[in-house]
């Protein structure tokens, strides 16, 4: 048995060129769109229609989001004004009750009403300041 050294086959130098294309968005470039249309007649029209439908749907969603934000803002403003109105009405009613208590010789009741109004106002101011700081 004779052993001969085996020769490794020589690899020739070869070059490889890779070309890559990419695009973003719903519509491909015109040459790719034409290739789609060559493969499936009418495909380009369908792709364009799909892109139009997608854009229209996105616009509708964005309009709904904006409408909801406007509606929420209006509700917040309305709630704020209602709160101010009811707070003012409560103060007027309590002040009137304190006045009538003083006139009818019930100074303890009048003092209690005034102290209650002051403590509620103090708590409101305290929490309002904490909310604006954070």
Number of Cβ within 10 Å of residue 110's Cβ equals 19
Structure tokens at 112: 């209690």
Residue 10: per-residue pLDDT: 65
Phi-psi region for residue 124, left (φ > 0), alpha (ψ -120 to 50) or beta? alpha
CA pair distance 22, 31, nearest whole angstrom: 12
Q: Is residue 12 part of a domain?
A: no
Is 0.75 topped by the overall pTM? no
Q: Is residue 23 part of a domain?
A: no
Our count of domains for the chain comes to 1
Q: Note the pLDDT tens digit of each residue in 29-83.
A: 888 889 988 999 999 999 999 999 999 999 999 999 999 999 999 999 999 899 8
Residues spanned by the domain of 89: 30-133
Q: Is residue 108 part of a domain?
A: yes
- H or E, element range at 90: helix 43-103
């Amino acid at each position: 048995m004779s052993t001969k050294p085996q020769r490794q086959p020589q690899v020739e130098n070869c070059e490889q060129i890779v070309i890559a294309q990419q695009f973003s968005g719903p519509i491909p470039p015109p040459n790719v769109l034409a290739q789609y249309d060559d493969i499936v007649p009418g495909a380009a029209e369908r792709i364009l229609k799909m892109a139009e439908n997608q854009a229209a749907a996105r616009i509708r969603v964005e309009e709904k989001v904006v409408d909801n934000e406007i509606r929420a803002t209006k509700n917040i403003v309305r709630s704020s004004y209602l709160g101010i109105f009811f707070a003012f009405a409560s103060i007027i009613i309590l002040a009137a009750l304190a006045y009538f208590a003083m006139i009818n010789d019930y100074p303890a009741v009048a003092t209690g009403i005034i102290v209650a109004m002051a403590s509620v106002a103090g708590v409101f101011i305290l929490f309002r300041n904490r909310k604006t700081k954070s």
